[in-house]
């Protein structure tokens, strides 16, 4: 278990962007990508948004949300939100790094914070925010059994495509659709840790993963910035 974690830690630390993108003039949000070791394999913990929520009800996501005034940084935001949503105590998370951010539908700068949690963690979902909690083997995001792509245009008119995974969870006897920014972060995390080519196309140069991920993000940010200027 420790050697699996240690390998992952070493890989992740090479991809830590720290606060490199924190100064961008966008509203901030963070998500926690909780990794755990189960049956000798890395798994990711995910949540399903409550059907009562106005935005994206019933969608799969990571614990997370908007930055609040009390948060010192993106890590604080991710840990506070994970505690509020699934009862994960901040001191029970071994934070490893921050990865290249994304931009969500509401034009928030979303920072993925990666941390290890114990396999014994029992989630207590806040029913106002979360209807379900489940885990997926991390390898599923490079070698999926059920995968397709969805074309989409960002709010700034930037055309791209989106990963979409269907995951059959035998423990819950349920099928979960993982797509959008959540799938984007999960795929990047799996590429970083495993360092191998996925069974589907990705828009990264896999030999220069960090620089191509940063370039993709900066292109997306630039296209958003251009649209804002043209709307003035």
- Give domain limits for the chain: 4-231
Average pLDDT over residues 73-92: 98
- Dist. CA 94–CA 117, nearest whole Å: 7
State residue 55's pLDDT score: 77
In sequence order, the β-bridge partners of residue 168 are: 175
- For residue 30, pLDDT over 80 is answered with yes
Q: What is the pLDDT of residues 160-182, one digit of tens each?
A: 789 999 999 998 899 999 999 99
- Please give the backbone phi and psi of residue 146, each rounded to the nearest 5 degrees, phi first: -140, 105
215 vs 1: which has the higher pLDDT: 215
- Dist. CA 223–CA 192, nearest whole Å: 26
Mean pLDDT for the chain? Answer: 93
Q: Output the CA torsion sign for 212, 108, 12, 190.
A: negative
- For residue 232, pLDDT over 60 is answered with no
User: Which long-range contacts does 175-181 make (Cβ < 8 Å, 24+ apart)?
Assistant: 176/46, 176/48, 176/60, 176/134, 176/136, 177/59, 177/60, 178/46, 178/60, 178/136, 179/60, 179/150, 180/59, 181/102, 181/104, 181/110
The predicted model scores a pTM of 0.94
Give domain 4-231's CATH architecture: Alpha-Beta Complex (3.90)
Q: Is 173 exposed, middle or buried (0-12, 13-18, 19+ CB in 10 A)?
A: exposed
In sequence order, the β-bridge partners of residue 28 are: 109
Q: The sheet that has 147-153: what strands, in order across it?
A: 147-153, 159-169, 174-179
- For residue 53, pLDDT over 90 is answered with no
């Amino acid at each position: 278990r420790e050697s699996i974690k240690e390998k992952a830690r070493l890989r992740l630390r090479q991809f830590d962007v720290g606060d490199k993108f924190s100064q961008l003039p966008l509203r901030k949000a963070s998500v926690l990508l909780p990794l755990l070791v189960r049956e000798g394999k890395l798994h990711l913990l995910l949540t399903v948004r409550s059907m009562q929520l106005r935005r994206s009800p019933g969608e799969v996501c990571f614990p997370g949300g908007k930055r609040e005034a009390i948060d010192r940084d993106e890590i604080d935001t991710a840990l506070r939100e994970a505690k509020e949503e699934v009862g994960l105590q901040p001191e029970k998370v071994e934070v490893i790094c921050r990865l290249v951010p994304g931009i969500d539908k509401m034009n928030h700068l979303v920072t993925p914070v990666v941390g290890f949690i114990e396999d014994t963690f029992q989630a207590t979902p806040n029913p106002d925010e979360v209807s379900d909690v489940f885990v997926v083997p991390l390898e599923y995001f490079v070698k999926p059994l059920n995968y397709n792509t969805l074309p989409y245009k960002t709010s700034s008119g930037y055309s791209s495509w989106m990963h979409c995974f269907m995951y059959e969870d035998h423990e819950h006897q349920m099928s979960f659709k993982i797509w959008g920014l959540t799938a984007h972060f999960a795929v990047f995390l799996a590429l970083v840790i495993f360092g191998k080519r996925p069974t589907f196309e990705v828009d990264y140069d896999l030999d220069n993963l960090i620089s191509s991920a940063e370039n993709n993000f900066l292109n997306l940010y630039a296209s958003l910035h251009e649209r804002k200027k043209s709307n003035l």
